[in-house]
Amino acid sequence: MSLHLHELRKHYGATRAVDGVTLELDERETLALLGPSGCGKSTLLRLVAGLEAPDAGHLSLDGSDITQLPPQRRRFGMVFQDYALFPHLDVGQNVAFGLVELRWERAAQRERVGELLELVGLAGLERRRVQQLSGGQQQRVALARALAPRPEVLLLDEPLSNLDQTLREALKDELSGLLSSLPVRAVYVTHDQSEAFTIARRVAVMKSGRLAQVGTREEVLEHPRTGWLAHFLGHRNVFEAADLARVPGAPQRGPALLRSDLTRVLPAADGGGGTDAVVRGVARDGLRWKLRLALPDWGIELAWEGYDRELPGAPTEGQQLRLHVPAEAWQELDGA
């Protein structure tokens, strides 16, 4: 019982928007499709929805091929980035739109609409015009509308990107709880990794039309496969093999990632462990310190972040420290 994408391809002229994507989605699973803008993730979602026809490859749901099925017969719910609410219908009519197509009884429609508006926290707003809603409310209506006909798969295309920061944070958590509580599999497209990792347990990272890595959020976050992935996921310390010649314990064959979150800063006097480190730059991000540390013995510089308690006092430029780097902090990357 699964949604299966097999070698999907979609080209626009010379642009390979989706360039051979194979992916499987299990029942009740939420998958985040994460990637920078222009990586083809929205196109991939549109292929799954049936809004675009693939140039090659196929798509099957629970064993039957649906590649040629038009969107209206797939029963895939979609939440659009710009909501796409029908301006000529009120909130209730918007949510009931798919139920009308399924020829539901009036009373059943009304009940289902009420149930969904309750679910998304808009109970009682059936008669409201959609133009009178705030962006966040419109987003909730779009979600309720997509969920109402009990879709096989729920597709969400950057659903929070048009909202302001505060609202996005709040809705992100809410959506995460909602999706994990509902018996629906979902594909959540986003360029924002915090959204991806909050909402989905499994994450597929996309780059230039291909999947760069697919795995649980821990796998992807802690063990990015390539230098590009490490950079994209916010790791700052990626080194080429040539830079690491003087570093004991570092992988020697290819590029490597140094996970600064696994390192420990020690006072200079502490002779016990680690290597010499000199503070080259000090900045703050809220309560967190952001330091640039030069390691003269190893011939490299790295970015380090942490709170007060992880430091032997307030850091200053030029300050001498020592840095303890356990072996597991080094991770070898694929040379790509």
Which residues contact other proteins by CB under 8 A? 49-51, 70-78, 80, 82, 84-88, 97-98, 100-102, 131, 145-146, 149, 155
Closest distance to other proteins from the beta carbon of 210 (Å): 23
Closest distance to other proteins from the beta carbon of 190 (Å): 18
Closest distance to other proteins from the beta carbon of 25 (Å): 17
Nearest alpha carbon to residue 203 among 182, 223, 183: 223
Closest distance to other proteins from the beta carbon of 3 (Å): 15
Q: Which stretches of 27-71 are assigned E, i.e. beta strand?
A: 30-34, 56-61, 64-65
| Residue nearer to other proteins on the CB measure, 51 or 278 | 51
Q: Dihedral sign, CA of 100, 104, 107, 108?
A: negative
| Residue nearer to other proteins on the CB measure, 209 or 274 | 209
| Residue nearer to other proteins on the CB measure, 44 or 256 | 44
Q: Could you give the CA distance from residue 204 to residue 13 in angstroms, rounded to a whole number? A: 25
| Residue nearer to other proteins on the CB measure, 117 or 291 | 117
Q: Could you give the CA distance from residue 204 to residue 225 in angstroms, rounded to a whole number? A: 12
Neighbour-count burial for 65-83, b at 16+ CB within 10 Å, e otherwise: ebbeeeeeebbbbbbbbeb
Closest distance to other proteins from the beta carbon of 47 (Å): 13
Asked whether 147 and 182 are in contact (CB, 8 A), the reply is: yes
| Residue nearer to other proteins on the CB measure, 110 or 223 | 110
Rounded (to 5) percent helix, strand, coil in the chain: 30, 35, 35
| Residue nearer to other proteins on the CB measure, 87 or 286 | 87
**Local structure of 119: helix, strand or coil:** helix
Closest distance to other proteins from the beta carbon of 94 (Å): 9
